[in-house]
């Protein structure tokens, strides 16, 4: 490439300077012009001869020959002898340096490295110009300066001296690794362990992401330090190429920060990706992105999509993090890798890597800066969580894989490259464009053959992380003074103790490695100049520092040294320098008021303290401790950096007394920290905190009909404690643990205490659960009286009820009316419905005052942070801050950066108000029955109601008119069949009707139930009476949940049946099994499901129990929840109740029951089917 400047390095400048000093005829400037124009077509150094071709006015370039005087054998021996006595200088030579010391040594022994006059050279040019030097020779002089910039050893070679060969003759072994081998893409590939992509996709399902223990906040901002590692003016570029990197890192950091801050689209998965889909990134033979391969939940190829990189990034950015635990491992893993990569880019913790794609062709990719220990720690932890088959490489028609490490690097590189590629304005520079367009740049052929090696050297000269033998920095503390020594560690031999640098340099057994070690230490000395003192003393010297002077070493220099991949061995306390901070001591006031949230402000008072790490100090005591301290100091068990100006600012805060009120005080009390700093609690406040947190027994209500299990008693006591303190409570036990019974016990207690009189309790639920709550109160809550507030006229139905059951929709419609009523207690079920603060239901709920608020949810709310905020804001309005504040303070840091500190803080803040227990808890599991049957009642939708009434109008009239018993029996059974179809879904009754689930109350109830089951990571078997019903359910579930359920029916082959059973039992993402009643007749012996759902019925409980028992391996089951879905007010509810209560009906088989139904009187038949 043509250049605008020459002699950019010390040795290049010396070459030009010497020649400019003897250019009395001013021939060199025109030579610069020739060289800059690119007229030097070739240049070659052969021994002490420079041979070149320079374009002139003629078509054929002129031939140039320049000969430098060769050193004599004696001169060479004298120079090499001097070098042998100076290993530090040898090490510098290995860094491609020609420092002043070598120049001075050469002059000292009479060697002339650079010419004193033109006569020192023998020069010849084939041009007709007789001047010496001519412009062509002068052009070669400048071109030679460029060559010396790249390779300083040419200065010696021009005098017939191969410095490295001569040093070897003196038994100075130099492994010439100044230019490391450029990694080839082919070296990063391995043979595929799978026959095809589908097999790999299936395997990946079994490698689930482990519990999230990643914390991306541990990745520090190292952008400035990274840039400092690169030499400013590399010989392959005219200017400071660091500025190109600075632009790329700075602007891509802004791109990543914007993406990290992007809003999540709740419930959105984008670009035709469903929760059940499995994906693979496909890369070409150069590790450039090609496309995304998508499979359905069975591992079958779904589509080969032409996703652009921004399509995939956008889909993952917008993916609702609350649903990640329900997705395939591949999508969850890509989501993790994306946000890891974005954090790396934001913090500048990335580095360019040169790859050789084919002989002579290269590309740049960006990879994590894993030589930094924090980056490597997160990378390695992420690596443990990676599923197999996340990417594949297509080399021609052949599939290739990568090791897990290289696979993760490749995917990180893809996402990092996306951010880098968004930087504008560098496309015109060919080399800068190679770095900018790392994701889409085709492999490059460099114009000069040595550019790749020079670029590789520039990119990797400082990276010692991959070396087997490397320096180790040891920091010592002795009586407040600090010392630094250099050791050498042998990384492959972990049993060997590090060896002191002095031994490396003096003992003969280390002769073969000492020069390489010195080279590495000299690299470090560029950033830690005092290391030269150790080198000059052959390792015997150690560096000593006062507390003040060690500040720069500890806080600035050693972090740079870490970036080399060098281990720093120091006292643990020095690894975590803590700064003094202002904090508070909470003390109890003299108030005698009873403890509750309402009077918390009157119970507490506050004083200032100084926090240092985990220790707290009174202000006066801390001031005495830091008097006369400056710099790095040890105070008790903590190291800190004492800065006088910072101390002044700290003590100025103490001029005004601390104030905390309301939720600020409560949050500080529960978290035992304020603004991220530990606080102090007096003994009295510690006791008060225990009073707020500890559950205490409360007498059970006298009228409690059913006995509570031990965990339910505990839950009741916890709820009552919060009721008494004025705290809202969220009970979020897993399904099947009896949340309803625990809440009913609280309501009974409130009635017993006379608090449900004029003031009522309101239970707000989805429409599909109103009947279930009403019946629960009726059956288990007497003497509580409940009324349903629903329907067009919305009568209460019961005079002076204790409890009003209503829906979220009615609540928002009747907000003004309901606000006028006195409420003592508001209970919400399926509490996640109010997670969005902007929906009218959430706004309406928060506008209605009540001293007692309880929320119920079966979902793992700790994994659904925005749901958690929405529920908490209803229970204890304002406690977790505004919605936007919560997102920025907790949701984004936890969900996108896995901020463990924020996660722990949120747990501390919400634990007093949140109770979630699992069936897996051994103490709970022992007390649970193996099987629990539950009725769930659905309401008819308007469409169902209309069809139901029409059938009754027509069919009952025909039955009334029919006198023939046989024909009447047939009409009755046809009517029951039609009504059952309508109760299931109108489409089953009239095929042209819409198949959407919202047209059926039973389907709405079923899908709500399945949603909770999936959220808890559990599986369900759904029993259907016919294949037609099963087909409809399978279609609806595929659309609603993005994954197709299994469906076993009478026409399923034996092999398909076995495949289904294996998938359901073994595949964690196959979570729904629809089974027709006929297929359920054969024993399936399932154990993976914890829920059995009878969608429609045989009208014989004994048969349904038998079917359930044969489907499940009941001997191996634990707490099987059996759900019977019934449509409220219809013949379904009435008939099942009759069968359960009348022994003669319960003993009938299906044929006998149908005969009994067909012979009912007109009056009894009408009572059974009428819906009022």
> Quick one: pLDDT at residue 195?
45
The DSSP secondary-structure symbol of 556 reads I
> Quick one: pLDDT at residue 177?
47
> Quick one: pLDDT at residue 557?
94
- Give the tens place of pLDDT for each residue, 760-802: 999 999 988 999 999 999 888 888 999 998 876 666 556 789 9
Class of domain 931-1169: alpha beta
For 395, the 3-state DSSP assignment is strand
Q: Are 782 and 746 in contact (CB under 8 A)?
A: no
Burial class (CB in 10 A: 0-12, 13-18, 19+), 579: middle
Cα–Cα dist 1149/1158, whole Å:
14
Task: For the beta carbon of residue 555, count every other beta carbon within 10 angstroms.
Answer: 12
| pLDDT interval class at 204 (50, 70, 90) | very low
| pLDDT interval class at 191 (50, 70, 90) | low
Nearest to 873 by CA among 839, 919, 920: 839
> Quick one: pLDDT at residue 179?
40
Round the average pLDDT of the chain to a whole number and report it: 86
Greater pLDDT, 1083 or 813: 813
| pLDDT interval class at 87 (50, 70, 90) | confident
Cα–Cα dist 189/1073, whole Å:
40
- Give the tens place of pLDDT for each residue, 988-1047: 998 887 889 999 999 999 999 999 998 888 999 999 989 999 999 999 998 888 788 999
Sequence-separated (6 or more) residues with CB below 8 Å from residue 346:
253, 256, 257, 260
> Quick one: pLDDT at residue 86?
78
Alpha-carbon distance values, 157 to 48, 102, 121, 123, 1102 (Å):
6, 15, 14, 17, 99
Q: What is the mean pLDDT of residues 348-370?
A: 93
> Quick one: pLDDT at residue 1066?
85
| pLDDT interval class at 904 (50, 70, 90) | very high
CA angle, residues 59, 61, 65, in degrees to nearest 5: 160
Q: What is the mean pLDDT of residues 355-361?
A: 90
- Give the tens place of pLDDT for each residue, 954-1000: 999 999 999 999 999 999 999 999 999 999 999 999 888 788 999 99
For 391, the 3-state DSSP assignment is strand
> Quick one: pLDDT at residue 786?
92
Which tokens is 261 given? 């801050």
Greater pLDDT, 27 or 1091: 1091
Which tokens is 173 given? 């072994």
Cα–Cα dist 939/768, whole Å:
6
80-98 core/surface letters (b: 16 or more CB in 10 A; e: else): bebbeeebbbbbbbbbbbb
> Quick one: pLDDT at residue 212?
54
pLDDT at 491 over 80: yes
- Give the tens place of pLDDT for each residue, 818-858: 998 999 999 999 998 888 888 888 899 999 999 999 999 98
- Same fold yes or no, 710-925 and 931-1169: yes
In terms of residues, how long is the chain? 1172
Domain boundaries, the chain: 10-169, 189-460, 469-575, 581-693, 710-925, 931-1169
Cα–Cα dist 438/444, whole Å:
11
Q: What is the mean pLDDT of residues 402-431?
A: 90
Q: What is the largest CA-CA distance in the chain?
A: 136
Q: Does domain 710-925 have CATH number 3.40.50.10810?
A: yes
| pLDDT interval class at 24 (50, 70, 90) | low
Task: For the beta carbon of residue 781, count every other beta carbon within 10 angstroms.
Answer: 27
The DSSP secondary-structure symbol of 890 reads I
pLDDT at 598 over 80: no
> Quick one: pLDDT at residue 414?
95
Which of 183-197, 926-940, 1127-1141 is the least confident region? 183-197
pLDDT at 1110 over 50: yes
Cα dihedral 243/244/245/249 (nearest 10) = 100
> Quick one: pLDDT at residue 173?
57
Q: Are 1041 and 276 in contact (CB under 8 A)?
A: yes
> Quick one: pLDDT at residue 211?
44
- Give the tens place of pLDDT for each residue, 716-726: 999 999 999 99
Q: What is the mean pLDDT of residues 517-528?
A: 90
Greater pLDDT, 431 or 528: 528
Task: For the beta carbon of residue 1093, count every other beta carbon within 10 angstroms.
Answer: 24
Q: What is the mean pLDDT of residues 549-553?
A: 93
Number of H helices, E strands in the chain: 50, 38
> Quick one: pLDDT at residue 297?
62
Q: Radius of gyration of the chain from Cα atoms? A: 40
Beta bridge pairs of residue 854: 729, 827
Express as a percent the part of the chain with pLDDT over 70. 92
- Give the tens place of pLDDT for each residue, 605-656: 999 999 998 899 999 999 999 988 889 988 888 899 998 889 999 999 998 8
Which of 671-680, 724-733, 1144-1153 is the least confident region? 1144-1153
pLDDT at 435 over 60: yes
pLDDT at 275 over 80: no
Nearest to 469 by CA among 483, 489, 446: 489
Q: What is the mean pLDDT of residues 908-916?
A: 95
> Quick one: pLDDT at residue 197?
44
> Quick one: pLDDT at residue 269?
44
> Quick one: pLDDT at residue 199?
45
Which of 140-144, 210-214, 985-989, 1110-1114 is the least confident region? 210-214
Cα–Cα dist 1099/648, whole Å:
82
> Quick one: pLDDT at residue 207?
43
């Amino acid at each position: 490439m043509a250049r605008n400047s020459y002699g950019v390095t010390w040795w290049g400048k010396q070459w030009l300077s010497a020649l400019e000093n003897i250019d009395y005829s001013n021939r060199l400037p025109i030579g610069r012009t020739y060289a800059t124009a690119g007229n030097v077509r070739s240049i070659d150094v052969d021994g002490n001869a420079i041979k070149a071709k320079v374009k002139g006015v003629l078509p054929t370039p002129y031939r140039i020959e320049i000969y430098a005087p060769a050193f004599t054998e004696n001169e060479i021996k004298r120079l090499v002898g001097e070098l042998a006595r100076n290993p530090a200088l040898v090490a510098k030579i290995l860094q491609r340096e020609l420092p002043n010391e070598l120049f001075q040594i050469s002059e000292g022994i009479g060697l002339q490295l650079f010419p004193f006059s033109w006569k020192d050279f023998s020069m010849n040019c084939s041009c007709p110009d007789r001047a010496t030097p001519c412009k062509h020779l002068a052009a070669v002089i400048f071109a030679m300066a460029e060559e010396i910039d790249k390779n300083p050893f040419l200065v010696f070679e021009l005098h017939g001296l191969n410095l490295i060969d001569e040093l070897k003759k003196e038994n100075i072994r130099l492994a010439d690794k100044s230019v490391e081998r450029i990694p080839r893409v082919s070296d990063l590939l391995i043979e595929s362990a799978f026959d095809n992509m589908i097999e790999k996709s299936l395997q990946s399902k079994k490698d689930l992401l482990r519990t999230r223990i990643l914390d991306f906040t541990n990745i520090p901002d190292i952008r400035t330090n990274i840039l400092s590692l690169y030499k400013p003016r590399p010989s392959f570029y005219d200017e400071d190429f660091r500025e190109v990197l600075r632009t790329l890192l700075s602007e891509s950091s802004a791109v990543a920060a914007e993406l990290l801050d992007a809003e999540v689209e709740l419930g959105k998965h984008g670009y035709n990706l469903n929760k059940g889909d499995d994906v693979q990134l496909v890369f070409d033979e150069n590790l450039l992105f090609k496309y995304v391969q998508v499979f359905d939940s069975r591992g079958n190829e779904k589509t080969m999509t032409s996703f652009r990189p921004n399509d995939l990034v956008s889909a993952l950015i917008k993916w609702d993090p609350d649903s990640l635990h329900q997705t395939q491992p591949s999508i969850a893993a890509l989501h993790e890798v994306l946000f890891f990569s974005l954090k790396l880019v934001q913090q500048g913790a990335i580095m360019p890597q040169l790859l050789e794609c084919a002989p002579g062709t290269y590309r740049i990719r960006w990879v994590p800066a894993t030589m930094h220990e924090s980056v490597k720690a997160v990378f390695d932890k992420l690596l443990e969580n990676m599923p197999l088959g996340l990417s594949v490489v297509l080399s021609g028609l052949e599939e290739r894989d990568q090791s897990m490490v290289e696979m993760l690097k490749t995917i990180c590189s893809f996402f990092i490259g996306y951010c880098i590629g968004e930087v504008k304005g560098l496309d015109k520079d060919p080399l800068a464009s190679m770095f900018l367009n790392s994701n889409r740049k085709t492999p490059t052929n460099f114009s000069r053959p040595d550019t790749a090696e020079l670029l590789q050297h520039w990119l990797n000269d400082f990276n010692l992380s991959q070396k087997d033998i490397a320096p180790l920095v040891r920091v010592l503390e002795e009586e407040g003074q600090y010392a630094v020594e250099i050791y050498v560690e042998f990384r492959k031999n972990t049993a060997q103790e590090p060896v002191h640098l002095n031994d490396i340099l003096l003992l003969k057994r280390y002769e073969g490695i000492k020069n390489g070690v010195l080279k590495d230490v000299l690299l470090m000395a560029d950033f830690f100049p005092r290391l030269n003192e150790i080198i000059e003393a052959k390792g015997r010297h150690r560096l000593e520092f006062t507390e003040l002077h060690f500040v720069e070493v500890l806080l600035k220099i050693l972090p740079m040294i870490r970036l080399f991949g060098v281990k720093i061995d120091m006292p643990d306390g020095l690894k975590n320098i803590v700064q003094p901070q202002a904090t508070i001591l909470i003390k109890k006031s003299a108030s005698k008021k009873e403890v509750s949230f309402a009077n918390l402000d009157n119970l507490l008072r506050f004083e200032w303290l100084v926090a240092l790490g985990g220790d707290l100090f009174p202000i006066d005591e801390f001031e005495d401790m830091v008097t006369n301290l400056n710099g790095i100091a040890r105070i008790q068990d903590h190291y800190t950096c004492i800065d006088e100006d910072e101390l002044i600012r700290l003590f100025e805060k103490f001029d005004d007394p601390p104030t905390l009120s309301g939720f600020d005080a409560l949050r500080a009390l529960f978290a035992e920290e304020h603004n991220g700093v530990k606080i102090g609690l007096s003994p009295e406040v510690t006791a008060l905190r225990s009073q707020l947190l500890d559950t205490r027994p409360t007498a059970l209500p006298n009228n409690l009909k059913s006995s509570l299990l031990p965990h339910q008693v505990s839950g009741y006591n916890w709820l009552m404690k919060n009721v008494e303190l004025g705290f809202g409570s969220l009970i979020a036990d897993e399904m099947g643990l009896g949340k309803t019974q625990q809440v009913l016990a609280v309501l009974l207690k409130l009635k017993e205490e006379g608090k449900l009189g004029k003031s009522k309790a309101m239970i707000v639920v989805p429409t599909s659960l109103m009947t279930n709550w009403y019946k629960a109160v009726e059956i288990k809550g007497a003497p509580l009286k409940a009324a349903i507030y629903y329907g067009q006229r919305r009568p209460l139905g019961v005079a002076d009820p204790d409890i009003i059951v209503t829906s979220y929709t009615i609540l928002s419609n009747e907000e003004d009316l309901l606000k006028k009523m006195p409420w003592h207690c508001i209970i919400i079920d399926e509490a996640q419905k109010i997670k969005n603060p902007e929906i009218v239901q959430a706004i309406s709920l928060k506008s209605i005052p009540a001293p007692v608020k309880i929320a119920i949810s079966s979902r793992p709310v700790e994994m659904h942070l925005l749901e958690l905020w929405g529920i908490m804001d209803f229970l204890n309005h304002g406690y977790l801050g505004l919605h936007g504040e919560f997102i920025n303070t907790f949701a984004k840091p936890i969900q996108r950066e896995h901020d463990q500190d924020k996660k722990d803080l949120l747990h501390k803040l919400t634990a007093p108000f949140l109770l979630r227990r699992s069936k897996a808890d051994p103490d709970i599991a022992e007390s649970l029955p193996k099987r629990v049957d539950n009725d769930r009642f659905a309401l008819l939708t308007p469409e169902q109601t209309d069809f139901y009434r029409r059938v009754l109008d027509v069919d009952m009239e025909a039955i009334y008119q029919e006198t023939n018993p046989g024909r009447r029996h047939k009409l009755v059974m046809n009517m029951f069949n039609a009504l059952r179809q309508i109760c299931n879904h109108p489409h089953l009754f009239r095929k042209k009707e819409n198949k959407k689930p919202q047209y059926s109350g039973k389907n709405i109830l079923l899908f709500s139930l399945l949603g909770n089951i999936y959220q808890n990571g559990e599986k369900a078997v759904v029993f259907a009476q016919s294949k037609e019903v099963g087909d409809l359910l399978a279609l609806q579930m595929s659309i609603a949940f993005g994954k197709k359920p299994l469906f076993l029916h009478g026409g399923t082959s034996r092999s398909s049946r076995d495949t289904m059973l294996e998938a359901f039992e073994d595949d964690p993402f196959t979570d729904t099994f629809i089974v027709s009643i006929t297929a359920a007749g054969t024993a399936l012996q399932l154990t993976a499901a914890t829920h059995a759902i009878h969608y429609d019925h045989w009208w014989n409980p004994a048969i349904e129990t038998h079917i359930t028992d044969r489907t499940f391996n009941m001997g191996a089951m634990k707490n099987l929840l059996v759900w019977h879905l019934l449509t409220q007010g219809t013949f379904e509810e009435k008939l099942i109740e009759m069968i359960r209560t009348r022994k003669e009906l319960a003993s009938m088989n299906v044929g006998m029951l149908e005969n009994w139904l067909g012979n009912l009187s007109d009056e009894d038949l009408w009572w059974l089917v009428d819906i009022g």
